Structure 1
């Protein structure tokens, strides 16, 4: 049997309560173990996030609604919304239909997404491959290779 009133909500903290600092004392920052990184390194974005962002920006730039673009592309409006938010991994047929509905070719859509990816990717100058898998300090490759 419970000891609290039936209409009273109980709050269960997700983090353990810490004792308040003594009056006049400044609160202390949590201590990290020695050798721990200060902040996690930023991750490269997922391809579906990049493509979805391009689709959304293009649609908004044309001042079109999700419904309009989805009907033109012959895909469902909720599915197009999930593509734009990076929640779904679309097939090449769906991407081509969405791009065409926005007046783009599939290559245009992928090129715009690749440009976005290039902004996040660290510089890879001097890390290109030369025949036989050897690395050449002078080789450079700034493109993105998609293999089907």
Structure 2
């Protein structure tokens, strides 16, 4: 009788964070560095505090125009904000817990 090889994952894969979630966290950090309330930043960006709160929590996907307005309200540029979000994404754990080329544990079942 032939043996059947089964692959058992070593760890559960963590889903990658969404860009909007990382953007929201970065916006909240920038606002906190300035010791501002949601209302103060939202007013300068021309949006409601409720909408800014949802953006910061990663619930809303803001348009590029809205992101630019928020960057300006926080005294940064769209390019700098995008770079910061990209760096934050790179610092987070990757989706795969196994490095490329690493051996994978196999269990043989009879």
TM-score by length of 1: 0.56
Higher strand share: 2
* Larger RCO (CA within 8 A; separation ≥ 6): 2
Structure 2: gaps spanning 5 or more residues: 1-5, 95-110
User: How many Å apart are 1:75 and its aligned residue?
Assistant: 0.6
Choose 1 or 2 for highest CA Rg: 1
1:89 maps to 2:75: no
Which structure shows the higher helix fraction? 2
| Unmatched segments (≥5 aa) in structure 1 | 1-33, 123-148
Runs of 4+ in 1 over 3 A off after TM superposition: 34-39
Number of aligned residues: 90
Equivalent runs, 1:1-148 vs 2, <5 Å: 36-37=8-9, 39-120=11-92, 122=94
2: CA distance, partners of 1:39 / 1:121 = 13
Partner residue, 1:133: none
Equivalent position of 1:146 in the other structure: none
